[in-house]
């Protein structure tokens, strides 16, 4: 399966009307996991790179609910770059995928849905170690 297929773009429905927009995200429908945690990142800018890790256990959906950012996603083999530029789209990131978030607009609010509670021990923050694990997994 290509990395693009592993990390699909999710388009949310617009339930808005003349009063404004409304986007609903419900666990189980549209999101391929039960949502255990939500966090959001703001106050970053175009000079900052965040993420720079892979997670052994957690799956994520990233949504720029305001502003824009980019996500560089790799499995150590392929790389894709997704621009998150509308509140009605997200990108799904499964376990063991490396991601960097960057190029944040000043008004960027990056909402992250996660499948787990936070556990720092499940993070791989060394890219060389990540590549080695992926190489072994692919043997
Ligand atoms: P970090 O993983 O570096 O953020 P990012 O992936 O956006 O670059 O997290 C920053 C700090 O926040 C770090 O000390 C861990 C802590 N943290 C939590 O306690 N819970 C969480 O759910 C997250 C995402 C981070």
Which residue segments constitute the domains of the chain, with CATH numbers given? 3-137 (2.60.120.10)
Of 35, 41, 50, 117, best ligand 1 pocket probe by most atoms within 8 Å of the beta carbon: 50
- Residues 37-55 have pLDDT tens digits of 999 999 999 999 999 999 9
- pLDDT, one tens digit per residue, over 63-121 is 999 999 999 999 999 999 999 999 999 999 999 999 999 999 999 999 999 999 999 99
Rounded Cα distance, 70 and 82, in Å: 6
Mutate to test the pocket of ligand 1, among 39, 117, 118 (most ligand atoms within 8 A of CB): 118
Residue nearest to atom 22 of ligand 1 (CA): 118
Rounded average pLDDT over 27-34: 88
Query: pTM to 2 decimals?
Result: 0.96
Known catalytic residue at 117: no
Residues contacting ligand 1 via CB (< 6 Å): 37, 39, 41, 50-51, 118
Question: What are 13's two structure tokens?
Answer: 């429905």
Which element (helix H / strand E) includes 127? helix 127-137
Atom of ligand 1 nearest to the CA of 50: 8
In this structure, how many other beta carbons lie within 10 angstroms of the beta carbon of residue 18? 4
Strands 123-124 and 49-55: antiparallel
Kind of pairing, strands 30-31 and 26-27? parallel
């Amino acid at each position: 399966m290509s990395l693009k297929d592993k990390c699909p773009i999710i388009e949310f429905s617009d339930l808005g009307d003349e009063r404004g927009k409304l986007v609903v995200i419900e666990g189980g429908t549209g999101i391929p996991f039960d949502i255990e945690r939500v966090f959001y990142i703001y106050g970053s800018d175009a000079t900052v790179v965040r993420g720079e890790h892979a997670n052994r256990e957690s799956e994520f959906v990233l949504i720029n609910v305001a502003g824009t950012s980019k996500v560089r996603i790799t499995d150590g083999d392929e790389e894709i770059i997704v621009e998150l530029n509308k509140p009605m789209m997200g990108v799904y990131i499964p376990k063991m995928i490396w991601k960097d978030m960057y190029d944040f607009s000043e008004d960027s609010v990056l909402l992250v849905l996660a499948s787990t509670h936070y556990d720092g021990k499940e993070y791989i923050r060394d890219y060389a170690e990540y590549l080695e694990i992926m190489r072994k997994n692919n043997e």
